[in-house]
A and B are shown apart, each in its own frame.
Chain A
Amino acid sequence: MSTGLIFDIKKFAINDGPGIRLTVFFKGCNLQCKWCHNPESMSPKVQKMYNAKKCIGTVKCIEVCPNDALKMTLEGIVTDYNVCNLCGKCSEICPTKAFEMLGSEIPISELMKKIDNEAIFFDQSDGGVTFSGGEPLMHSEYLLAALKECGKRMYHRVVDTTAFSKLETVLEVAKHTELFLIDLKVMDSEKHKEFTGVSNEKILSNIVELAKTNCEIIFRMPLIKGVNTSEENIKKTAVFMNSLDGNRATINLLPYHKVAENKHVKLGDSNKFIEFESPNNDEVLKVISIFKNYEINATIGG
């Protein structure tokens, strides 16, 4: 059985679909959104995070590192990723868990144990399991196996995806999924490429096909000023949604937040953090009202 690289499993997830859920976060994404809220999810490799706030300076990590990759500085321990081979010894020895290894391969049977353990909460809330990331479709073999196991147990299944994948993968996953959460980041293809690394034709055509299935879709949109909050973009988004088969008139708006900054610092790549601007309250309300004109129900948060 294949294994998927998973960096977090969140219990009592209440923002990732209906009811009380368990959310599985896959590591690795084929989009590289510059505003990504979860930058630790982007790389498909195991990574290390360092939290200087937790570090009490025992320097045991430096002693134990086989590659001499660690150095004590005024800002705490700094890793030289040119020599670090991510063996994890520093994280094992650290008494305060200032180092944290991100990404582990969890066999399906073990994942299902964790999921089954939360079944009572799904039952009581019409909740279930959400696969998020990163991009779950990048781990399609593992994802499908997990979805099928969940299906056997009659758990409600949500896949939170960019929809950037082979169409056949999307449609195969759709056979075992009740609800998709899909981002509509920006409609202009050039801009999409500029900010996410890929153009959006494939994404949009996949969505068109997906909409022909019985799966429920809820769209999500990170609201980033200067990227996608223009009236034109919102209208285009609405028109696209209305052109789809079925009732596809729900979108969650997620106003940009610079939460990623702290995570970039922990990942040791703070140079990658770019600060965007979030729309103010009036601007968000305006977006909602445009959607409303198109009979689309837009709400803040997801």
Chain B
Amino acid sequence: METNQKVLKPERPVAAQGNFYQPITNAIGPGMNERIQKLRKISFETEPSLSIERALIQTQFYKENFGKYSTPVLRALNFLEICKQKTIYLGEGELIVGERGPKPKCVPTFPELTCHSVEDFHVLNTREMQRYTISQEDIDTYEKEVISYWNGKTMRERIFSYVPTEWSDLYEAGLFTEFMEQRAPGHTALDGKIYEKGMLDFKKEIQEQLNKLDFLNDPEATDKKEQLDGMKISCDAAIIFAERHAELAEEQAKTETDPKRIKELQNITEVCRWVPANAPRNFHEAIQMYWFVHLGTITELNGWDAMNPGHFDQHLTPFYEKELAEGTLTREEAKELLSCFWIKVNNHPAPPKVGITAKESGTYNDFTNINIGGVKKDGSNGVSEVSYIMLEIVEELHILQPGNSVHISSKTPDRFLKEACKVIRQGHGYPSIFNPDIYIQEMLRQGKLLEDAREGGCSGCIEVGAFGKEAYILTGYLNVPKIIEITLNNGINPVTGKQVSIKTGDPRNFKTYEELYDAFLKQLNYIINQKVLVSNYIDRMFAKYSPATFLSVVIEDCITKGKDYYNGGPRYNTNYIQCTGLGTVTDSLSVLKKHVFEDKTFSMSTLLNAVANNFEGEEILRQTIINNTPFYGNDNNYADDIALQVYNDLFDAIDGKPNTKGETFHLNMLSTTCHVYFGKVMGATPNGRLAQKSISDGTSPSHGCDVNGPSAVIKSLTKIDQVKSGGTLLNQRFLPSLLKRDEDIMKLGQLVRSYFALGGHHIQFNIVDTATLYAAQKNPEDYKDLLVRMAGYSDYFNDMNIDLQQEVIERTENESF
């Protein structure tokens, strides 16, 4: 509808000028050039494979050197050895250089953490999803050289040999996951320091600290010396790694015939000789600087979630603006360099996981999340032309990695939000949208300095931290719905019949809802204590045996404290437990409270029998539950009050529990893909959810249970005080018909503004495609929220007859952008 509202037209004067890009249809920007198209094609089409090179270098090194040095120095020398020996790759047409493996999409292994077995490799090589190819010859070599050495000596084996039976029982039943059982603690993003200092500067700072050490009065002086020595070696390793790229570029220039490419190669040589040894001088060097640091951190160890540049647009903007003014860089060149970087990240699939972790996180995505927009350290608007360039790249490249998010504070211009919404309309599910005004408060609540909080953001999924200054260790997901299941079975896992938790009484004997809830809290606290117990042990194992000496160089205060990233070196040191399934839990408790205890619609034993039998033969009961219970996500206080109580009790159970670094645990409300795994290990739940079906994700309502539109969902979610968490997650489904016109796009933006004004942390929109609609036809129950709009008319997809549904499907096909 045309209204008196002004419709903002994006202005992109620079992009409108002639340039060398081939325009592609539907793109908001001018499109990819030929180089980017070629590099993207390689990245897109190359199948992930495994490289045993890193493992071989490391094993040889350990055979010769283990026991000769302190642990930090040993780790640093190991990193140096890899940087010296690994195959260097410089692909045709590349401008930003460097790969973790010997070639794109080729992933090394980290046997010191988890040593893959021969069987693991065969599975990885042959499975249909998330396949990593490896040759039989390599498997044989690995078995002979690597497995034979590391067998029994890995971090994973150390951890599993320690864990108490109580923990294992809960872990195997699927009550929680443990991130660090096979990868190192990670979730790290950088601040702006690497654009002001190079490795030589860091080395100087390290030396100053070494000179200051007081071996007579400081009992930790020796430990600090070992750590600082290791960090110094790591700086050299990064410089050598870059120098080898400079040399390779020089070599290639000798045989290259294209004069343009020769110039590019000469430039690469110059860039790699300057960074990371020194602070970058221009836009190109700034990107390459970050990329070398990124590669360094993911080469020394296999941290959970790859490294992340943090507020990359803000870091690059000074270089961009200076060079544009001086005439040494054009917008198109900047975009090309950034596109090269984007493709580099995509060249790095997550190293393959094993066991339960592979089940809950079976993805190539390694969650490097580029934060776009947001606020600057001084609190002012952080959006610049570089932010808009990044949005163009996100839309045009359409690749899995890096992830991206836009950060919309009350100071962010509407134009930026609108451009982001246009990318969202494309239906790829990104960018996700974050609210700095709230996450800054979250960090302040935890005691961070204002500037540090403002420089923070989201590193992987929705978790936030102080970029460049914090080790915020996500320890694993907590299956809160499973805790209800365990409570209803007096500590027995009904899937296996095994007693896996404490006895809190047969619920058939509970007289009141409060009695039941009390039992749930007892189970919750017991389970969280088990989780924290093992997390603390793992924390110490990494601090002692697997320091990250290179990562420690670039994280604030590690140098001045002389301590490792894993050992309390960073300015802030927090641990998180990620709680999943708030929707499933709330709805289940709502059913129990209303129907069993208040209205006495049915008895506890009727309900428990139906749940135990997966509602077989009890469809009437199940329908009564589904259609006659207040569910979370509908702005209904009955259900929302339960959600609030559960949230507050999760907070009380987790927040403030001491970790091993003098700080505490906090909670996050997210599930990433884990809600699928958690659903698989569960029987039916009282809310009518059938066995093995996914539980609800993050803080989103249960699938299809939000039937009053997105504004009601937002009202429900903001009844919980999100500032007390370290992040919440809200997924919302939209049909493309709701976002057809420019004004609709604006309304999507206004919905976001409303959510954020009410205190929302994060929201992301999945634009529904035809496949979803076909699924909705098959399982209408899971898709009750799908609202369809036609001119002058709207209805829920479920309520339409088959002909109309078919028409909507056809329209959706056409309306998908």
Give the interface of A toward B (CB within 8 A): 10-12, 14-20, 37-38, 51, 53, 56, 58, 95-97, 117-118, 120-121, 123-127, 216, 218, 220, 222, 250, 252-255, 257, 259, 261-262, 265, 297, 299-302
The CA of A126 and the CA of B743, in the complex, are separated in Å by: 12
- Which of B715, B744, B790 contacts A14, CB < 8 Å? B744
Contact call B754/A218, Cβ cutoff below 8 A: no
Contact call B804/A262, Cβ cutoff below 8 A: yes
Residues of B within 8 A of A15 (CB): 1, 789, 791-792, 794
**Interface segment, one of B618-626, B656-664, B723-731:** B618-626
Beyond contacts A12-B711, A125-B754: 9 other A-B pairs, Cβ-Cβ < 8 A, are: A12-B709, A18-B3, A37-B793, A124-B751, A125-B751, A218-B2, A222-B792, A250-B2, A255-B791
A221 to chain B, nearest CB (A): 10
The CA of A270 and the CA of B4, in the complex, are separated in Å by: 40
The CA of A229 and the CA of B595, in the complex, are separated in Å by: 55
The CA of A11 and the CA of B4, in the complex, are separated in Å by: 22
B624 to chain A, nearest CB (A): 4
Residues of A within 8 A of B635 (CB): 117
The CA of A117 and the CA of B5, in the complex, are separated in Å by: 24
A-B contact count (CB 8 A): 121
Residues of B within 8 A of A118 (CB): 711
Q: Is B801 an interface residue, CB under 8 A from the partner?
A: yes
Q: Is B331 an interface residue, CB under 8 A from the partner?
A: no
Query: Can you report 23 residue pairs joining A to B where beta carbons are below 8 Å apart?
Result: A11-B708, A12-B709, A12-B710, A12-B712, A15-B1, A15-B789, A16-B1, A18-B3, A37-B792, A53-B799, A56-B623, A97-B627, A97-B628, A121-B754, A124-B753, A125-B751, A218-B3, A222-B792, A254-B791, A257-B790, A261-B801, A262-B799, A301-B741
The CA of A20 and the CA of B714, in the complex, are separated in Å by: 14
B757 to chain A, nearest CB (A): 6
Contact call B1/A299, Cβ cutoff below 8 A: yes
Number of B interface residues in the complex (CB < 8 A):
44
Q: Is B738 an interface residue, CB under 8 A from the partner?
A: yes
Residues of B within 8 A of A257 (CB): 790-791, 793
Contact call B754/A20, Cβ cutoff below 8 A: yes
With a 10 A CB-CB cut-off, give which of A37, A56, A120, A265 has the most chain B CB atoms.
A120
The CA of A10 and the CA of B712, in the complex, are separated in Å by: 11
With a 10 A CB-CB cut-off, give which of A20, A97, A118, A222 has the most chain B CB atoms.
A20
Residues of A within 8 A of B754 (CB): 20, 120-121, 123-125
Contact call A297/B2, Cβ cutoff below 8 A: yes
- Which of B3, B746, B789, B800 contacts A262, CB < 8 Å? B800
Contact call A14/B738, Cβ cutoff below 8 A: yes
The CA of A16 and the CA of B750, in the complex, are separated in Å by: 16
With A117-B715, A121-B711 known to touch, is A12 a contact of B751 (CB < 8 Å)? yes
- Which of B4, B757, B793 contacts A259, CB < 8 Å? B793
**Which residue of the partner chain A has the closest CB to B802?**
A53
8 Å CB interface, B586-634 against A? 619-621, 623-624, 627-628
- Which of A11, A126, A218, A222 contacts B1, CB < 8 Å? A218
8 Å CB interface, B676-719 against A? 708-712, 715
Residues of B within 8 A of A121 (CB): 711, 750-751, 754
With A120-B754, A257-B790, A259-B793 known to touch, is A20 a contact of B747 (CB < 8 Å)? yes
- Which of B5, B792, B800, B804 contacts A220, CB < 8 Å? B792
**Which residue of the partner chain B has the closest CB to A114?**
B635
